[in-house]
Structure 1
Amino acid sequence: MAARLTGDLGDGAYRNPVLAADWSDPDVLRVGDDFYLTASSFGRAPGLPLLHSRDLVNWTLIGHALDRVEPAEAFAVPRHDCGVWAPSLRHHDGRFWIFWGDPDHGVYQVNAASVRGPWSRPHLLKPGKGLIDPCPLWDEESGAAYLVHAWAKSRSGVKNRLTGHRMSPDGRELLDEGEVIVDGDRIPGWFTIEGPKLYRHDGWFWILAPAGGVATGWQGAFRSRRFHGPYEQRVVLQQGATDVNGPHQGGWVRTPAGEDWFLHFQQRGAYGRVVHLQPMRWDADGWPVLGDDGAPVDVHPKPGLPPQPRSAPATHDDFPGGRHGPQWQWTANPRTGWAATHAGDGLRLSCLRSARARDLRALPHTLTQRLPLRPCSVEVELRLDAGSPGARAGLAVLGDAYSWIGLERGDDGAARLVHRFAEAGAEAERDAAPPRPAPDGTARLRIDVTEGARCRFNADTGGGFEPTGAPVFAATPWRWVGALLGLFAVAEDGRGPAGAALFTRFRITH
């Protein structure tokens, strides 16, 4: 499996993307011989995923820095395009630091002595609307600390500007009101500058930031001898003749041997934002050159680091003891009673009663993971241990539109296989196929995903897999979030327990 999910070609080269799923707005850090990466997690919990690598190509998911999205009450319900935007990952004074912007609440930070935690509770460094993409810098030359951030026009009416602050060395407060240090409106041909990453190198303050829009823009570099500017700029990575649209924001990292590399994302529709690795060098004038003379690479020799086993973030799960792996996130902050631990294997989800039972996009208790970029089959086994009419559970592909297949109790108490979908903007779902009997209240469910995120649904209720529903469902993103695979259990609004559903042997095969 890992050989299909990693970009490692096994011959000393790699192929982009190196993370072939929605790891949006990545930032990268090296501590010793280890590389770490975090990414946006928006309104899902846990948030701020933490990935580890020894060669920048093979990555594993080792946990999350955020148990719940803050403020907690705001994320008791799904808010798919809100929450944790574009984090920055740094190491200073023996601690790991992550700063991120919530466009509705402000700039937060957490920190920890170990990347595996425990992480501090989120600290609101700068409250306000439209404050996004923050990045700190502790300047070893002067001992001063700084912060730069961008703006979301949807909340603030401001965009295309980067604001800089002096910051206390403990990362707890800003020491001034901030000033605009890069104004994109004053740079001919530049627009929507955002996602800044702040560095100190060769006597310069550097800001690496994309511009021009997520799907069609470019990566820029800004430099100044003073933090507050003035900055000069240059385009350092753009699509050129390649098929890598964007290419959008990311981070710079240097290996122990002094090689420079840049990780960034590319917008891929329903698949979200996949991560590419670019070689990086410095030209005679001291400017960074990314990729192949400023164009993204497809296949390239791996970094000069010790060979590593092929690896990729986990997808399979047997749910030992009823616990799910770190690849899963709830669509809102979790509550007690959504899932039950037990002695065996399998995920036991309560069929929670909800007035929104017929719109999966509104359910906070859906457990999700990322849709892989490469063609795959997604399979899980389901047993519906719920007798309440209308109780249901299943496997879904979620986005602005969604489709799911699973089991439901009819008014007569019998279990039946159902396949339903909802179009973007629709308030309720419809049948994609007529229900059919599921005599044992069990089923094996499978979704075959082909190029273009085109999904075909299949089920086995005892006689082997059979297709169901329309021939193809085309997955859609959730605005900036790629489509998600989801497991859920729910029941119609009412009183009293409705039972539970047991999911076992979740597999994604390529």
Structure 2
Amino acid sequence: MAMMLLGSLPIACGDDEELAPVEYPLVIEAKGDGTTEPPPGTYMHRPGTVVTVTAKPAPSADFTGWSGAASEMDDAVTITVDGNTTLTATFEIASWPSGGQSTYLNPILPGDHPDMNVYIEGGDFYITGSSFNLSPNVEILHSRDLIHWERISRVVDPAWSGLETSTSAGGGTWGGFIVKVAGGYRAYFAVNFNQYFAEAESLAGPWGAPVHVEPLDPYTPPEEDPELVQFDRGTGYDDSVFIDDDGTTYLVMKAGQCKWNAKTGGEQNNFGVNLLQKIDPKTGQLSGESIDLSFVNWNTENGGCGDPAGDPDSALEANWAEGPTMTKRNGFYYYFDSTHTGCGGVQFGWRSAKLSSEPADWTPLGAVLTGEAPWRGAQHSTAPFQIADGTWWVFSHSYECDNNWRGLGRQGLLSQVTWMDDESGAGVPVVNGRLGVPAPAPALPPSDIPFLLPVNDEFDEEKLAPAWTFYGNMPSDRYSVTDRAGWLRLKPAQGETRWAIQKDALHAKAMVVRMDFAPAAEGDAAGVRLGNAVPEQDLTAFPTWAQAASLEVSVARVRADGGDQIRFAFRSVVPVLNADESAYESTEATVVSYDVEAPSDKTLWLKLVHGKDHQATGWFSTDRLTWTQVGKPIDISALENYDTVNTGWVGNQAGVFATSASADFDLFIYRDGFTEIAAAEPDQESGTEVVSSQSEGPVLGGLENGAWAMYGSVDLGSGGVRSTDIALKASSAKGGAVEVWIDPLAGGRRVAICDVPATGGWDTWTTVTCKVDAAGSHEVYLKAKGGSGEVVRLASLRFVPGKD
């Protein structure tokens, strides 16, 4: 019997006979996160055998090339085995491009973020503004790149006694600004038109009890008349702070509107007050010295008082020089004030070489910020500020005035400022446009902070996450995250409703809750809801100009008509004026609702879905995999396009509620990844554009190689369910691919590469499904991959659930 040896040794059959070896080994190796086809190993082949080997990177890795028997970069390589052969495939973990975001998309702060002021310390930026009746009050946000923001603290405890008379819609805390002092920080804010401050060693808190800023004196209109009504100007509202080059700190104060009924007979007298008042840095109190800029109220051409009976959307009507801010540049002082805060509002500027109460020393600069569609109410800005690269920026707020989304409130917008200077260095600030389209981003280091959206929450911390708020003063005995570990318990009294809420921030989403609740008595209810800021409030107490309404949509488990029901409902209360239009009359609620019998399970999943077409649907499930729809879609456009000035200034709120009986919530999901997400609604993007499709409507287009879109706060699985695949509805003229990343700015990974075939045209769509194994709450990035030109268009994305 002949002996066969591996390798290059000959086979001996006689003293001088040499024969070629029968087989040679082919050794296939894989280095890094990937494999090959055939898999790595040793394979025996006869000489001259031709073998094709294909590199198969893991979803998170890239194939970087072959070594050994081949050096090509192609995924598949063909080699001829004619001796001992080794072939190695090398893989490297895919990395997101380094560097900061090149473009950004407004709103940077989606949802209601009004009356902002910026505090800067080194490379860190902080924002605070109005909370109104949403407590805990005075939210402080932090950023390093001006695009990504995180909540770090809330200053005012809901139990603070100063809020006891100011818990209704429109009450609470107004404005806010931050000052650094010896030993820490002061956060100022207004309650009932008076300033307070709280102190802390760190902006993350904890914060001390608020201290009242004592006013200097009451204000009487400059006219001798026994019928004049004295107006206590307090210390203002929506104030800001200005610190001069020598460190002198000024309260930039506004008190009173430009027209005030100062006589008992009803005659109107102008006496809006705009002051710069020195702050004692040691005490935080006013020092008694002030500069009077109240003249800005009088001249309509430069932003002062107009006729409040005129067009409410006119730039020069119903103005009151509010939200004052100040900055200094090239030795000149720049003062800014705003008109009314709704759509059509305008911001005006003034410039002076010195701080002076003399109108002649101030040059009016006219309207410096007027907004553009859909942000036609952009104003009430922060003071312009400079960053490290020398550029200037400003934050403003605005409703989406032209897109039927006023219900989201006054959202936070970022704009670059350029200066038109004369030879002396005196300038006019010009706020660059492009509010509604991608714009060049600030040249700041990249940030791993997620984009600020409502949070998906499993309630597994000992304290409620700072994204959550309550209407008015929420007593500590009415909720708990410790009574039952891992659950939020709402504990209303009989006949009472309690809400835990977050700022609504998206045009379209699916909110999901997992709830443990069994309604026992008639009227018991609990579930998920979206509504405005005046639930259970006496709307007849609102002024007639407010046009107040209470609106909310919900999916809830209720006890009604003696039965245990799942109810999907839209409730609307709109009071009407009496005959002489001098006051509101109360009205009954209008309710559109659908009920189905609840399943026997005490623990259920509820889902509230609404899209950018303002159609909402309600659903329930026992496992989050199979859903049952409740009734038909309901049009909620009245809620989503409601001007929140009419409901106490606060935008719509999303969250959970319980009525008359305690309910436990194991999970709240603001943006369910298992429900279709419109691709044309990214939260941030780079290199994309929204285009129109005849069959799909607005879709995401313009995706060339490397372009991406980000969708924040997406839940990819929780409560025993996780993502197994992603389904992309896509079109492509020539074929391409879409990379799916989660949290790449925070060191996350690529989880899939989805190949998109040529579909025959940009309006011919196919659904591509590829494997994804993920769970939890993430930012999802879709990144185009392919050759030159436009690679792919996307209509929607949806993750596919499976059991965890």
TM-score by length of 1: 0.85
Change (3 A) 1:217 1:507: closer
Does residue 507 in structure 1 map to residue 641 in structure 2?
no
Q: 1:169 to 1:489 in 2, by over 3 A?
A: same
**How does 1:46-445 map onto structure 2 within 5 Å?**
46-68=136-158, 71-75=162-166, 78-93=167-182, 95-102=184-191, 104-126=192-214, 128=232, 131-141=236-246, 143-153=247-257, 157=261, 161-176=273-288, 180-189=292-301, 190=303, 191-211=319-339, 213-224=341-352, 225-230=354-359, 231-235=362-366, 237-239=368-370, 242-251=373-382, 252-268=384-400, 269-285=406-422, 286-292=426-432, 296=435, 298-309=437-448, 311-313=450-452, 314-321=454-461, 323-340=463-480, 341-354=482-495, 357=496, 363=497, 365-399=498-532, 400-410=550-560, 412=562, 414-420=563-569, 421-425=571-575, 429=589, 431-438=591-598, 439-445=600-606
Whether contact under 8 Å (1:416, 1:441) holds in the other structure is no
CA positional deviation for 1:455: 4.7
After TM superposition, the structure 1 stretch with the greater mean CA deviation from structure 2, 311-320 or 423-432, is: 423-432
Contact 2:291–2:356 (Cα < 8 Å) also in 1: no
For the pair 1:486 / 2:655, whether they are aligned, the reply is: yes
User: Residues of 2 paired with 1:437 and 1:297: CA distance?
Assistant: 45
- 1:23 & 1:213 partners in 2: Cα distance? 13
Residue in 1 aligned with 2:770?
A: none
Q: Residue 302 of structure 1 aligns to which amino acid in structure 2? A: A
Shift of 1:211: 2.5
Whether the 8 Å CA contact 2:393–2:415 is kept in 1: the answer is yes
Equivalent-residue separation in structure 2 for 1:39 and 1:455 (angstroms): 32
Asked if 1 retains the 8 angstrom alpha-carbon contact of 2:568 and 2:630, the reply is no
> Structure 1 pair 346/149, CA: closer, same or farther in 2 (3 Å)?
same
Does the aligned pair in 2 maintain the 1:159–1:192 contact within 8 Å?
no
Residue identity opposite 1:417 in structure 2: I
Greater relative contact order, per chain length (Cα 8 Å cut-off, separation 6+): 1
**1:209-228 CA distance string (max 9 Å, x none):** 22354311222222331153
Say if 1:236 and 1:288, in contact at 8 Å, map to a contact too: no
SS in 1 for 2:335: strand
The TM-score, its normalising length taken from structure 2, stands at 0.55
Partner of 1:3: none
Distance of 1:235 and 1:114 partners within structure 2: 39
- d(CA) in 2 for partners of 1:290, 1:445: 48
Aligned partners of 1:218 and 1:235 also within 8 Å: no
Partner of 2:108: 18
- Following superposition, the deviation at residue 264 of structure 1 comes to 0.8
Distance 1:272 1:487 in 2: 20
The answer on whether the counterparts of 2:519 and 2:564 sit within 8 Å (CA) in structure 1 is: no
Shift of 1:301: 1.5
**1:449 is aligned to 2:539:** no
Task: Give the C-alpha shift of residue 461 in structure 1.
Answer: 4.5
Q: What runs of 5+ residues in structure 2 fail to find an aligned partner?
A: 1-98, 216-231, 262-269, 304-318, 401-405, 533-549, 576-585, 678-804
The answer to whether the 8 A contact 1:238-1:296 is kept is no
Query: How far has the Cα of 1:14 moved from its partner?
Result: 0.8
Q: SS state of the match for residue 165, structure 2?
A: helix
Largest Rg, 1 or 2: 2
Native 8 Å contact 2:515 2:663 kept in 1: no
Say whether the 8 Å CA contact 2:152–2:203 is kept in structure 1. Answer: no
Closer, same or farther in 2 for the Cα pair 1:283/1:74, shift >3 Å?
same
Local SS of the residue matching 2:636? strand
Partners of 2:188 and 2:260 lie apart in 1 by 20
1:198 is displaced (CA, Å) by 2.8
The one-letter amino acid of 1:301's match is P
Say if 1:28 and 1:35, in contact at 8 Å, map to a contact too.
Answer: yes
Match of 2:620 among 443, 455, 460: 460
**Local SS of the residue matching 1:388:** coil
Seen in structure 2, the aligned counterparts of structure 1 residues 72 and 188 have a Cα distance that, compared at 3 Å, is closer
Secondary structure of 1:41's aligned partner: coil
The letter for the 1-side match of 2:342 is V
Q: Partner of 1:116: helix, strand, or coil?
A: coil
Residue pair 2:100, 2:444 contacting (<8 A) in 1 also: no
Counterparts of 1:159 and 1:194, CA distance in 2 = 13
CA drift at 1:52: 1.2
Contact 1:278 1:290 in 2 (8 A): no
Aligned residues: 481
CA 1:200–1:228: 2 relative to 1, 3 Å: farther
Give, in whole Å, the separation in 2 of the partners of 1:154 and 1:449: 41
Equivalent residue for 1:30? 120
Deviation at 1:499, TM superposition (A): 4.0
Distance 1:328 1:153, change over 3 A: same
Any stretches of 5+ residues in structure 1 without a counterpart?
A: 1-8, 358-362, 492-497
For 1:159 and 1:417, locate their aligned partners in 2 and report how far apart those are by CA, in whole Å. Answer: 55
Shift of 1:162: 1.5
- Paired with 1:154 and 1:440, the residues of 2 have a C-alpha distance of 60
Three-state SS of the structure 2 residue aligned to 1:315 is coil
TM-superposed deviation, 1:327? 0.9
Distance in 2 (alpha carbons) for counterparts of 1:53 and 1:206 = 25
Structure 1 match to 2:65: none
Q: 2:346·2:369 contact (CA, 8 Å) conserved in 1?
A: yes
Q: 1:353 to 1:469 in 2, by over 3 A?
A: farther
Distance 1:291 1:151, change over 3 A: same
Q: Deviations over 1:234-278 (max 9, x none)?
A: 135334665320211121332233322111111231010111111
Q: Which residue pairs with 1:5 in the alignment?
A: none
Question: CA offset at residue 92 of structure 1?
Answer: 4.3
Find the residue that maps to 1:175 and give its secondary structure: strand
- What RMSD over aligned residues (CA atoms) do the two structures have, in Å? 3.0
Task: Identify the range of structure 1 (37-46 vs 163-172) with the bigger mean alpha-carbon deviation.
Answer: 163-172
* Counterpart contact for 1:15–1:300, Cα < 8 Å: yes
